[in-house]
Amino acid sequence: MNPYETDELVTQYMEFHYGDRYFEVENYPAKCAQICIELIHNGATRKALDLGCAVGRTSFELARTFDEVIGVDLSARFIECATQLKKRGTLDYSIITEGELVIPRQADLAALKLDQIANRVTFFQEDACDLSARHEGYDLIFAGNLLDRLQDPRRFLDSVHQYLNMGGVLVMSSPYTLLEEYTPRENWLGGYSEDGQDIRVLDGMKIALEPHFTMLGEPVDVPFVIRETQRKFQHTIAELSCWKRIK
Instruction: Give pLDDT, residue 3.
Output: 74
User: What is the C-alpha end-to-end distance of the chain, expressed in Å?
Assistant: 39
Q: Provide the sign of the torsion angle of the four alpha carbons 142, 67, 124, 208, taken in this order.
A: negative
Contact between 72 and 56 under an 8 Å Cβ cutoff? The reply is no
| Matching CATH number, 3-245, of 3.40.50.300, 3.40.50.150, 3.40.50.261, 1.50.40.10 | 3.40.50.150
Instruction: Give pLDDT, residue 41.
Output: 84
Instruction: Give pLDDT, residue 4.
Output: 79
For the stretch 232-241, pLDDT in tens is 999 999 999 9
Contact between 233 and 23 under an 8 Å Cβ cutoff? The reply is yes
pLDDT in tens, the chain (247 residues): 577 789 999 999 999 999 999 999 999 999 999 999 999 988 999 999 999 999 999 999 999 999 999 999 999 999 999 999 999 999 999 999 999 999 999 999 999 999 999 999 999 999 999 999 999 999 999 999 999 999 999 999 999 999 999 999 999 999 999 999 999 999 999 999 999 999 999 999 999 999 999 999 999 999 999 999 999 999 999 999 999 999 9
Pick the closest to residue 239 from 202, 212, 214 (CA basis).
Answer: 202
**CA–CA distance, 173 with 8 (Å, rounded to integer):** 23
Domain boundaries, given as residue ranges, for the chain:
3-245
**CA–CA distance, 215 with 212 (Å, rounded to integer):** 10
The residue type found at 144 is G
How wide is the angle at C-alpha 53 spanned by C-alphas 154 and 133, nearest 5°?
A: 65
Pick the closest to residue 69 from 37, 109, 38 (CA basis).
Answer: 37
The residue type found at 177 is T
